[in-house]
Amino acid sequence: MILVETFLLALRCLMRNKLRSFLTMLGIIIGVGSVIAMVAIGEGAKARVRDAFASMGNNMIMVFPGSTSVGGVQGGAGSMPSLTWADLEAIRNEVSAVRYVSPILRSQAQIVSETANWSTGIQGVSPEYLDIRAWKVTSGTPFTSSEVDANAKVALLGTTVVEKLFGANEDPVGSTIRIRNVPFLITGVLERKGQSPNGQDYDDALLIPFSTFQSRIQSGMRGRIPGGLVVSAQSDDLTSTAERQMRALLRERHQLTGTQDDDFQIRNLAELAAAQQEGTETMTTLLAVVALISLLIGGIGIMNIMLVSVTERTREVGIRMAVGAHPWHVMLQFLVEALTLSLLGGLVGLAVGTGVAQRLSLQFGWPLVIRADIVITSLVSSALVGVVFGLYPAHKASRLNPIEALRYE
């Protein structure tokens, strides 16, 4: 009962000087609001990175041919077709950390249906490609290894291609399209993947067997892969192991000595994702430090205002002691006032931080992630700031001499 009455008394005292109370809480509001907003945005950014790399595939590693260098002019990745079909089989059979491997051959072509046409990317792949990319077929069936062996003219369409050629909500399975005047049977529609981190539309794609790609779309050099490889490691923990094993195998197969550079390139998407996550976490930590400094400043402000309040209410304290109040009653009163200030500031900061995080998440298209543990920690921290920085003014008030306090003007 005493605590409730003390709390109500603290509220009345704070409401006497609304502007001063608000300015006192401002440091706490900024500190808590910054913590909530920045952690929410940081978690949303990390979730966006995870989703983006998850949409690329499961534990995916990409292997590209090397680059040429003539007269000091670099030809760029893939300008030297160094990967062979025998390399692909060796990776599949000899690298223990690899689960799936598929070639990926690319070209751009005009796709024609009975009523429309659309220019899109053609990809020649093996059936394992769908497992590597974790890409499901929502309608129809994927092509099989037997269709790869038979150079079958079958195709899987992304949802963007389906919408452009057949319209939204249409099922084109069983229909025929023409790629460079060659008829292809649509056997399946791929689930919607969305966009990559750099804005590429994953769904604007068409997949066909790599054997058909070579025989009907773009022939390659004998024994060489005119593209790259996509590989899936056995697990997240084995992506680095798979990369290391593939590098050693390819260097051995290509007869490269210790001083020679690789004639291929390996990109570990799991490491790229981890690097982006680490960068986001570092920024979040820095912003959290700034928020903690704001809380410290807010605590100093509470101490200053409470000291002023003790001075202003010296006569009031003397009267309370004269009618029988104990020093711990006075101390409790000022502690509760400091705690009320900090908690109110924390609650307002929570509302402000959530609003800012929601606004930024909408602007950047990130998911809004409000962690309950961060909310609780922020409110507890603001309460502790109020208690710690209000302890000295409360102690000072409780040590006042009643007779001298009554004489204070």
Question: What pLDDT shows up at residue 1?
Answer: 42
% residues pLDDT > 90 (the chain): 29
405 pLDDT above the threshold of 70: no
Question: What pLDDT shows up at residue 271?
Answer: 58
Residue 334 CA to residue 297 CA, distance in Å, equals 19
In this predicted model, what pLDDT tens digit does every residue of 54-63 receive, in sequence order? 666 668 888 9
Q: What is the mean pLDDT of the chain?
A: 80
More confident: 31 or 4: 31
399 pLDDT above the threshold of 50: yes
78 pLDDT above the threshold of 60: no
168 pLDDT above the threshold of 80: yes
What are the extents of the domains in the chain? Answer: 2-52+277-407, 81-262
Residue 36 CA to residue 370 CA, distance in Å, equals 7
> Which residues contact residue 107 at a Cβ distance below 8 angstroms, ignoring those fewer than 6 apart?
121, 122, 213, 217, 218
In this predicted model, what pLDDT tens digit does every residue of 207-252 receive, in sequence order? 999 999 998 888 766 678 888 999 998 887 888 899 899 999 999 9
Question: What pLDDT shows up at residue 71?
Answer: 44
The torsion angle over the Cα atoms of residues 399, 403, 404 and 406, rounded to 10 degrees, is 110
pTM above 0.85, yes or no: no
152 pLDDT above the threshold of 90: yes
% residues pLDDT > 70 (the chain): 80
